[in-house]
A and B are shown apart, each in its own frame.
Chain A
Amino acid sequence: MNIHGKAFKYGANVDTDVIIPARYLNTSDPDTLAGHCMEDLDPDFIRTVTKGDLIVAGPNFGCGSSREHAPVAIKASGISCVIAPSFARIFFRNAINMGLPILESAEAAQSISTGDQISVDLSTGRIVNETTGETFQAQPFPPFIQKIIEANGLMGTLKQD
């Protein structure tokens, strides 16, 4: 599976409250949630994001509560992949389970800037910064997790079985 889009760059410890503020948690409609994604950190995000774009951030991305509203909002906003040096545990699960690709790469997370054009090959973990020409190698997902992502999430695997 190949991904292609421009990068939005953020810092360390982006928590689930920043990804989707708690005041919007009384709905679980993906489009409504997407409309408020990242608004306390980057009000321009939702106006400028286009389908296929990527979020690139610092360590411990998605820390905080176990609510799935955070990866739901990110995915529904059009983001195709999140790249960070590390992810909080429950966010990691939730993202995979709903088919939001995430990749761990400290090097890519450090050198990519906002606006860079990025392409990712999920089956190999290869990340290319087309703006600068740099390439990075993230650990590709094991087949078990790739199957979940390709089925568009954990529930998709159930339909296939």
Chain B
Amino acid sequence: MGMTMTQKILAAHAGKVTVQPGELIEAHLDLVLGNDVTTPPAIRIFEEAGLETVFDPNKVVLVPDHFTPNKDIQSAEHCAKMRRFAKSHDLDHYYEQGEPGMGVEHVILPENGLVAPGDAIIGADSHTCTYGALGAFATGVGSTDLAYAMATGKTWFRVPDAIRVYLTGQLAEGVTGKDVVLHLIGQIGVDGALYQSLEFAGPGTEVLSMAERLTICNMAIEAGAKNGIFPVDAKTVDYLKQYAPQRYAEQNYTIHQADEDAVYRQTITIDLAQLRQTVAFPHLPENTRETGTFEAIPIDQVVIGSCTNGRLEDMRLAARWLKGRTVAKGVRLIILPGSQRVYRQALEEGLLAVFADANAVISAPTCGPCLGGHMGILAAGERCVATTNRNFVGRMGHPKSEVYLAGIPVACASAVLGRVAGTDELPD
């Protein structure tokens, strides 16, 4: 029986020729990630077990990003604990606020050259699945997994079945990777891919930029998936060349391809040309509707950023739609570049000036409002359009607030018009 890309990567990391769906394996890991929410409990577990060393100080990555710059004393204590651990274990990849490589974890790991095709990666954060965009296997776990993997460089997996998502055609103007993934989740539901991989395939994959692939894989978990993964093509290799020059030069990566006779539970075909700007209504990412198909919904806030849409391409796209326009009266637009590198580049390209001219608030790179942490919490009854990935009850603040998920163009149009809207409603 043929294997999927995911199954091949898992087999390679378990030292096996083949694996079967459902099989339990122990796999070696190329990278282990934690953040300021999940790492402090993992450190406690690590220390209570009497462990003294990490398996490889070059492969344990710790990122303070959720409640940073520290929002309160409790957050400061958590970050301090993580910083001490990183120092005492001599970790190469601990990214302090303001350093060139710092930012939101899933934005910076690819940017810092820490992800390459064929890698097996776990992170104590459910959106670790983002890295599938580069043809790696990556999935989210809990703090005990993190502690165990920091010590051993290994973890256990149940080998997943897969759904093949076959993409054809090209996206229309103003339609983005976010619309692709929202459409997919709307179609299969929030548990539509439970325990399974989402394996993207078809000619449509090649027309999507790396930024769009990262956005799509980021939200695989929102369909319940274990991981999402894209085939490796020329764009992936170009990305590697730019962001991971050393691994590229050493050819230190492996391109796995799904077998011709790989078995999928089902194949879902999406013609990219048919997709329209899409919004996920409260309170589940599966509640999707196309813009123009609902009544006017007035809003109080717009958030642009996060590990879903906080990359340089997203900032450029936001500037394209905001240039020469201003935010509607009574609406707050908060823009969070996803990393220090993105921030600096946006500054150099004049994008931040466009945002300031539009009356946006420009924040330091942080998760902030995405998880209802800080930097834009909603009051009871307030509505927000966000380029983030979850709109559960209370996700961005008060349990009686509402989050509408969308891509960058819809977020910009909504900020300018003061209601949930597509770009075709913008005046010229």
| Residues of the A chain whose Cβ atoms lie less than 8 Å from the Cβ of B51 | 158
Interchain CB contact (< 8 A) of B148 among A26, A66, A145, A158: A158
Q: Which of B24, B74, B142, B144 contacts A155 (CB 8 A)?
A: B144
Asked whether A94 lies within 8 Å of B151 as measured between CB atoms, the reply is no
How distant is the Cα of A63 from the Cα of B392 in the complex, in angstroms?
12
The answer to the question of B126 belonging to the interface, with a C-beta cut-off of 8 Å to chain A, is: yes
Partner of B38, one of A66, A144, A158: A66
| Interface residue A76 (Cβ < 8 Å from any Cβ of B) | no
Scan residues 1-46 of chain A and give those whose CB is less than 8 A from a CB of chain B. 17, 22, 26, 28
Give how many A-B residue pairs fall within 8 Å (CB-CB): 77
B145 at the interface (CB under 8 A from A): yes
Considering the chains assembled together, what is the distance between the CA atoms of A144 and B154 in angstroms? 14
- Count class of interface residues, chain B: 35 or more
Let me know if A126 is at the binding interface, CB within 8 A: no
Is the CB–CB distance between A86 and B148 below 8 Å? no
Q: Is A98 an interface residue (CB 8 A)?
A: yes
**Chain A interface extent, by class:** 20 to 34
CB distance from B401 to the nearest CB of A (A): 14
Q: Are B24 and A93 in contact, with the CB atoms below 8 A?
A: no
Note all chain A residues with C-beta closer than 8 A to B393: 17
- A153 to B45 alpha-carbon distance, docked (Å): 11
Q: A22-B394, A145-B24, A155-B148 are in contact. Are A89 and B41 (CB under 8 A)?
A: no
Confirm or deny: B191 has a beta carbon within 8 angstroms of a beta carbon on chain A.
yes
- Specify which chain B residues have a CB less than 8 angstroms from the CB of A28 in the assembled complex: 40-41, 44
A47 within 8 A of B: no
Question: Is B152's CB under 8 angstroms from A88's CB?
Answer: no
Q: Mark B122-165, 1 if CB is under 8 A from A, else 0.
A: 00111000000000000011111101100110001000000000
Cβ of A105 < 8 Å from any Cβ of B?
no
Q: Are B194 and A26 in contact (CB under 8 A)?
A: no
* Interface membership of A51, Cβ < 8 A: no
Closest chain-B Cβ to A52's Cβ sits at a distance in Å of 23
Question: At the interface, yes or no: B49 with Cβ under 8 Å from chain A?
Answer: yes
Q: Which of A86, A94, A158 has the most CB of B within 10 A?
A: A158
Residue of A with least CB distance to B225: A89
Task: Give a binary string over B292-311; 1 marks a CB under 8 Å from any A CB, 0 the rest.
Answer: 00000000000000000000
Given contacts A68-B144, A94-B142, contact A89 B151 (CB under 8 A): no
B226 within 8 A of A: yes
**Interface 0/1 of B226-267, CB less than 8 Å to A:** 100000000000000000000000000000000000000000
CB of B118 closer than 8 Å to a CB of A: no
CB proximity to A under 8 Å, residues B208-232: 224, 226
Chain B contacts to A: CB under 8 angstroms? 24, 37-38, 40-41, 44-45, 48-51, 74, 124-126, 140-145, 147-148, 151-152, 156, 190-191, 194-195, 224, 226, 372, 392-394
Known: A63-B190, A89-B194, A94-B144. 8 other contacts (CB 8 A): A22-B372, A22-B394, A66-B126, A86-B194, A90-B141, A93-B141, A97-B145, A159-B49
30 A-B contact pairs sorted by A residue (CB < 8 Å): A17-B393, A26-B74, A60-B194, A63-B224, A66-B140, A66-B141, A67-B142, A67-B143, A68-B142, A68-B143, A86-B194, A89-B224, A89-B226, A90-B140, A90-B141, A90-B142, A93-B141, A93-B145, A97-B145, A98-B144, A144-B156, A145-B24, A155-B45, A155-B147, A155-B148, A158-B49, A158-B51, A158-B148, A158-B151, A158-B152
